[in-house]
Amino acid sequence: MKTNIENMKNKKVLVVGFGKSGIAAAQAMLKLGAEVSIQDSKKENDVDANLITYFRGRGATFFLNTIPPDVGVYDMLILSPGVSPELAFIQEAESKGAEIIGELEIAYRIGRGNYIAITGTNGKTTTTSLVGEIFKKSGRKTYVVGNIGVAVISASADADATDWLVTETSSFQLETTRYFKPAVSAILNLTPDHLNRHHTMQAYGAAKAKIFANQREDGYLVINYDDKECFKLSSACKAKVVPFSSNEELPFGAFVKDGRIVIADEKKEIVDICGVDELKIIGVHNLQNALAAAAISYFAGIDRETIAEVLRTFAGVEHRIEYCGEINGVKYYNDSKGTNTDASITALKALEKNIIIIAGGDAKGQEFDGFIKEFPGRVKEMILLGRDAHLIQEAADRLGFENYIYCKDMVECVNKAYEIAEPGDSVLLSPACASWDMYDNFEQRGDHFKECVGRLVR
């Protein structure tokens, strides 16, 4: 079911958050004839003046570094992913009858395309990119959108009924959905993250589970069988549940058999895809991403040959254990997308040993004991930076890991790593924290790391 979002003429809409998704949502609402206001915590001097001029010229009103005096006048609030629905003025607007939704929901209501929706604590970007490549290779007109960096609404408005939107969806985007219904959904894993926003793992899991809330028997949910807390979510799903596992052979779903990625389909026939050793992306986590991508694509109707060809050639995504080069026998890896402890543990396991790790930033309410417990036999030295680095140090002290130093910024971190590294070591930026204390986003942080590594050879 889709509501008649096109009937927005003269409706009063407040777009909260003026990043990529907010800008795209505001443009879409203006095209539909809505009276648009835009709210952001930034001051006017911190916002692109050309954007302000553009939107004011089309009738939009701005509330920068402030909130509207009367939120009760709005018919709808469209929240950007980083905006908490628990903010007082949003709660007040909802109590006065405003619909509270996000850009993903608006995009779904406007567009006519078919959705593949992928979520999980980790692996979303890699899996979304991989599925996008498979769909493109199959000849389908495909848009790769969402939390991966492209606003969904920027593509959905142009999508035809035969087009596909391969969409990376975060818990923040999903919690403001109402009618969103993908053809195939996927939950890759579920580990603690964003607990400063969701407060409990139960609430976090419930937000992720909204990805399949509107699916029925004609849809598919691809979900991690090895992650038992994650797999429990599928008990509430009305779509066909397609498990994937890197540990066990399954009667239905995607798994590893005799060193091969295979799918047991609905006819209980085994479909061979490719050898595990043919994958270019490293680590068990990437094997799971490949299994999920194969299952998503196969049950969306793509042939095994196309799936296999892309799995064999896909080299990974930027900022996720991204190889940045070798200097004097030392390899450098950018894992800036490791914004939580589980993601960084995954990177440690992929590189295995002789690691000098750069960590720290915005801790997002996490604890770091589990992170430090993965260091023995893997991490030689930890270089700490950022606002909440002391929390990582405290965990290290509790667990007896003494090889750490503090640096004031990324330049100093990279230079110190270069100074202490020996041939055979790997220098890994995997902060286990968000970037917001020092950078606008993890991409900016990763780019700065790569820039600093590049300077080492000049």
Domain ranges of the chain: 12-97, 105-313, 322-455
pTM: 0.78
- The kind and range of the H/E element at 181 are none
Q: Is 125 annotated as a binding residue?
A: yes
Task: Tell whether 3 is in a known binding site.
Answer: no
In this prediction, residue 21 carries a pLDDT of: 87
What is the predicted pLDDT for the residue at 171?
Answer: 86
| Residue pLDDT, tens place only, 26-38 | 999 999 999 999 9
pLDDT at residue 84, rounded to an integer = 86
Determine if residue 17 is labeled as part of a ligand binding site: no
Q: SS3 for 322?
A: strand
Distances (CA, A) of 402 to 264, 348, 381, 383: 48, 18, 9, 11
pLDDT per residue over 275-314, tens digit each?
999 998 888 889 999 999 999 999 999 999 999 999 999 9
What single DSSP character describes residue 9? T
Question: Does residue 127 have a known ligand-binding role?
Answer: no
The rounded mean pLDDT for the chain is 93
Assigned fold of 12-97: Rossmann fold (3.40.50)
Question: Is 65 labelled as part of a ligand binding site?
Answer: no
Q: 45: annotated binding-site residue? A: no
Q: Is the pLDDT of residue 167 over 90?
A: yes
How confident is the model over 70-81, as a mean pLDDT?
94
Q: Which of 221-225, 362-366, 372-376, 378-382 has the lowest mean pLDDT?
A: 362-366
**Residue type for 109, please?**
R
Sign of the torsion angle spanned by Cα atoms 312, 315, 320, 322: positive
Segments in 353-409 forming alpha helices (H) = 369-372, 389-399
Q: What's the pLDDT score for residue 2?
A: 42
Which pLDDT band, with edges at 50, 70 and 90, does 199 fall under? low
Q: Which fold has domain 105-313?
A: UDP-N-acetylmuramoyl-L-alanine:D-glutamate ligase (3.40.1190)
User: What average pLDDT does range 346-365 have in this prediction?
Assistant: 94
Model confidence over 214-236: pLDDT tens digits?
A: 999 999 999 999 999 999 999 99
Q: At residue 192, does pLDDT exceed 70?
A: no
Instruction: Name the CATH architecture for the domain at 322-455.
Output: Alpha-Beta Complex (3.90)
Does 124 carry a binding-site annotation? Answer: yes
